[in-house]
Amino acid sequence: MTLTFMRFHQYFVYMLERRIYEHKSKIFKGFTSKYNCDELVYFENFDLIDDAISREKQLKAGSRQKKIDLING
């Protein structure tokens, strides 16, 4: 996937495996269906829900370039 067509979608997910299945199966109409996203490029694990939600908000507030840099390591 080239950066030209790269889309970013950040969200808190309780059960990652189930959510990946839902996205790949296009069970729900939404971001992944609209932009035909089918590849998970980055995720983080947290022990505490509050930490995960805080990180999600931090990522959403960040610039596109910061997200690209995070994905590329």
Residue 45 included in any domain: yes
Sign of CA dihedral 32, 37, 39, 42: negative
**Would you say residue 72 lies in a domain?**
yes
In a domain, 15, yes or no: no
Number of domains the chain contains: 1
Task: Identify whether the C-beta of residue 4 lies closer than 8 Å to the C-beta of residue 60.
Answer: no
In a domain, 3, yes or no: no
The pTM assigned to this predicted structure is 0.65
Asked if residue 8 is part of any domain, the answer here is: no
| Residue 39 CB partners (closer than 8 Å, separation 6+) | 1
Q: Confirm whether 7 is domain-assigned.
A: no
Residues of the chain with pLDDT under 70: 1-12
Q: Is residue 29 part of a domain?
A: no
Q: What is the structure's pLDDT at 1?
A: 44
Asked if residue 57 belongs to a domain, the reply is: yes
Domain extent at residue 69:
38-73
pLDDT for residue 6: 53
The pLDDT value recorded for residue 7 is: 57
Instruction: Give me the DSSP letters along 10-67.
Output: ----S-HHHHHHHHHHT-S-SHHHHHT----------SSHHHHHHHHHHHHHS-HHHH
